[in-house]
Amino acid sequence: MSNSNPLSPNSPVLLTPSLHVDDARKAIAGLVNDLITESRIRNAVGDIELVSLDQAINRILAEDLLSPIDVPAADNSAMDGYAFNGNCLETQDPDITLKVVGTAFAGKPYEGSIGQGECLKIMTGALMPPDCDTVIPQEFTSATSKGDSTIVTFQQSQLKRGENRRLAGEDLQCGKPAISAGRLLRPSDLGLAASLGIAELKVHRKLKVAILSSGDELRPLGQSLDAGSIYDSNRYSLTGLLNRLNLEIIDCGIVQDDPASLKAAFIAAATKADVLISSGGVSAGEADFTKQIMQELGDVGFWKIAMRPGRPMAFGVLKPIAESGAKHRTLFFGLPGNPVAVMVTFYQFVRSALLQLNGASQTEPLLTQAIAQTSIRKKPGRTEFQRAIMERGANGQPTVRITGSQGAGILRSMSEANCFVILNHEQGSVAAGDWVDVALFDGLL
């Protein structure tokens, strides 16, 4: 990269004390877009594959899914009631009386004809006879027996001609897009495809994402802890986050804090992965060698971001590794070592970049708002991501409360939370009762 690029260590934007969160997002999106437009990268991560519906959840749709049929395929009733010709509504008589001549069920259409003064008892989804264009809901009628016949009566003012009839192609027209390319496929999308008789979908190939943790103090699970050591939790958090996106994960394990080990691990990851995510080794400590290795293997920006938690972060690309035969550059994220900071920076920066690189059209998480149950202290000049619990208040309005201490190493604060309270860059302290921005961890669908 040239020094004019916002990721360059010599760029003016990186020489500022702390980079605004929005500027960091823009710089990342710009580089990812450059990678997408490079033909060699597009060939590496732009492959399309055909998968069955039961394998398509959280995959990115590669091409518009065109409906092979009209939905609905024919005019049908929108509810249980009585179908008739709406001509009878043009009378001045306030009461309409019709004779029931048969019944139509969903999947079992009525074969006869409907004349003037007649109607058909009809169930939701049943085909509308060609003689009928209106349905009166059953609950709006009164029915009486007259000999062998049933007579229904209702008030003319209760509906207009054409109501409660679903027209052929009203939901989807044959040949029109049912689901647009770039969609992160949800359960409802799979159901929609199945309703059209489509058993397979064209999706983008899963990105290959390598993860590693660096630090002499880290120990794998199952090994006893000695003085000053801790278990490595970051790879498990990252694995869970990546599995939510249904990506292919390459676990490169724990790497010791020495240049030779880090360089070998980075090279091994770059030969196999589209993206490398490391945790630890991006602060200013003497044993943090990531910057040194990246200057040898790629182009990277080392940032101090005006946010809490997650201030130190590295981002850039690894150059193609000649000895591996690889032709593509590998996207790189160097995340902080603190467990909460890893998850916050992933959520704010990495997730969107992975979705963008994998062809998704919607990459940014959606925000909502809730009422703060208590005051929250905050200094202007940085963006804060407070772990919190969002609930429905006594009056039905959404409320939110912080999960205690917000230290970057307190992973329990993430485990107990179901959302982030996002306090923006220029925002100050929040009073109890104020509305605040909230990003939910999980969606309903």
Name which of 259, 169, 215, 200 is nearest 56 in CA terms: 200
Q: Are residues 339 and 418 in the same domain?
A: no
Q: Let me know if residue 56 belongs to a domain.
A: no
Q: Let me know if residue 178 belongs to a domain.
A: no
- What pLDDT was estimated at residue 39? 47
Q: Let me know if residue 389 belongs to a domain.
A: yes
Q: Are residues 372 and 352 in the same domain?
A: no
Q: What is the CATH number of the domain that holds 263?
A: 3.40.980.10
Name which of 277, 319, 284, 329 is nearest 302 in CA terms: 284
Q: What is the CATH number of the domain that holds 131?
A: 2.170.190.11
- What pLDDT was estimated at residue 392? 94
Q: Let me know if residue 192 belongs to a domain.
A: no
Q: Are residues 82 and 37 in the same domain?
A: no
Cβ-Cβ contacts under 8 Å for 402 (sequence gap 6 or more): 374, 376, 386, 387, 388, 421
pLDDT tens per residue, range 242-282: 999 999 999 999 998 888 898 999 999 988 899 999 998 77
Q: Are residues 42 and 90 in the same domain?
A: no
The values of phi and psi at residue 297, to 5°, are -100, -15
Q: Are residues 145 and 233 in the same domain?
A: no
Round to whole Å and give the CA distance between 417 and 389.
5
The CA-based angle 440-442-445, given to 5 degrees, is: 125
Q: Let me know if residue 54 belongs to a domain.
A: no
- What pLDDT was estimated at residue 293? 82
Rg of the chain, C-alpha, whole Å: 30
Q: Let me know if residue 326 belongs to a domain.
A: yes
- Regions of the chain where pLDDT drops below 50: 1-6, 8-16, 39-40
Query: By residue range, what is the domain housing residue 385?
Result: 368-440
Q: Are residues 249 and 385 in the same domain?
A: no
Q: Let me know if residue 394 belongs to a domain.
A: yes
Among candidate residues 115, 138, 166, the one where a domain is terminated: 166
Neighbours of 12 (CB within 10 A): 10
Q: Are residues 224 and 317 in the same domain?
A: yes
The values of phi and psi at residue 387, to 5°, are -75, 135
Neighbours of 108 (CB within 10 A): 11
Locate 8 and state its tokens: 């360059």
- What pLDDT was estimated at residue 445? 56
Q: Let me know if residue 180 belongs to a domain.
A: no
Q: Are residues 215 and 325 in the same domain?
A: yes
Tell me which H or E stretch contains 264.
Answer: helix 259-272
Q: Are residues 349 and 271 in the same domain?
A: yes
Total count of domains within the chain? 3
For the chain, give the longest Cα–Cα distance: 98
- What pLDDT was estimated at residue 288? 64
Q: What is the CATH number of the domain that holds 432?
A: 2.40.340.10
- What pLDDT was estimated at residue 9? 40
Phi-psi region of 164 (alpha: psi -120 to 50; beta: other; left: phi over 0): left
Please state the pTM of the whole predicted model.
0.84
Phi-psi region of 18 (alpha: psi -120 to 50; beta: other; left: phi over 0): beta
pLDDT tens per residue, range 339-380: 999 999 999 999 999 999 999 998 888 899 999 999 999 999
Inter-CA distances, 387 with 326, 391, 402, Å:
41, 13, 6
Q: Are residues 350 and 212 in the same domain?
A: yes
Q: Are residues 142 and 263 in the same domain?
A: no
Among candidate residues 141, 166, 191, the one where a domain is terminated: 166
Q: Are residues 228 and 339 in the same domain?
A: yes
Round to whole Å and give the CA distance between 4 and 8.
7
